[in-house]
Each structure stands twice: as structure tokens, then as C-alpha cells.
Amino acid sequence: MITIALEDEAATLAFAARLAPLLSNLSLVTLSGDLGSGKTCLVRGILTALGYQGRVKSPTYSLVEPYTVNGRRINHFDLYRLADPEELEYIGFADYLDGKGLALIEWPEKAAGWLPEPDLEISLKVQGQGREIILDAGLEAVEQSLARISHRDFEF
């Protein structure tokens, strides 16, 4: 597990740019944190760093926003408004988790019992004007890669 302090939104976007290349072989990343903790900001930074040039919006009402970036399918989920995990069946949720693309899922606790183990769990917490980000990898290779972008390597 790795913890990094991020001063502000610019630091969050810079971190996302460092993190994005490490997601190339992952299929499921979860993002947890209170409202306003920076989950969507982090996703926006990841998509931009991967080469997406359009507007990145929160899928709070649609549940999912699909993107194609350099030929790879990336689905950004926001499950905040999900009343019951069974609702995921109605949107074909299992089809999105086929391992061929990347799923970035905000509020994963709302899908308890429906999600496989994530490749990477990201937790964000508000710390004054900044954020604290905690990374927990499900795979040793991912953990080793994350260690390379730890707080010791950051210069903001």
C-alpha cells in the first residue's frame, strides 16, 4: 500500500499523468472517497494522459461514460446513485467487465458482491486544501510499478 499527499487539483492531475501508463494492462480500478475527494478529477487526468482529447464528465446520472482511447475501450462508472447492486444487471454491467478494456469505477462499495477483485484500489481523502491518495494493488507487479511513482519521486 502506498500513500501520497497531493497539494491541489494540479497535483492530482500530475499524479494521474504518472499513473496512467501503469494502467495499460489492468482491467479493473476502483476509486473510493467522499463526495468532492477528487475521484472524477483523477479519472479526467488519467484519460487525458492516455490521449483522450474530449470532455470528461462525471457519469453520476448515466452510471457509465464509455471512451475509446488509442483503440482501447475505457468505461468510467459512477455508482453513487445506485440504489441496489442488482440494478447493474439492467445495464449489462458484466459485459463491461470482460477483461478487454479498462473499467474505472467510482463508489465500488455500491456494487458489493458484484465486482471481482480489482487490479488496483484507489482511495482519496480530503486533507485541508489537498488530497491524500492511497493505492493498494491486487497484483505484485502492479505494486512494484506503483512503488516507482511513490511520493519520493514526486516534484510538484
Share above pLDDT 90 across residues of the chain, in percent, rounded to a whole number: 38
Terminal alpha carbon distance of the chain: 22
Residues 83-100 pLDDT 10s: 888 888 888 888 888 878
Residue 63: the pLDDT is 83
* Furthest CA-CA distance within the chain: 44
pLDDT at 154 over 60: no
| Domain boundaries of the chain, sorted by first residue | 7-153
- CA–CA gap between residue 97 and residue 88 (Å, rounded): 12
Stretch (H or E) spanning 30:
strand 28-32
Q: Fill in the amino acid letter for 17.
A: A
Q: How many CB atoms lie within 10 A of CB 36?
A: 11
Mean pLDDT over residues 72-85, rounded?
Answer: 89
User: For residue 156, what pLDDT band results from cuts at 50, 70 and 90?
Assistant: very low
Set of cell numbers at residue 26:
489492468
- Cβ atoms of 101 and 73 within 8 Å: the answer is yes
Residues 105-115 pLDDT 10s: 999 999 888 88
**Domain at 7-153, CATH homologous superfamily:** P-loop containing nucleotide triphosphate hydrolases (3.40.50.300)
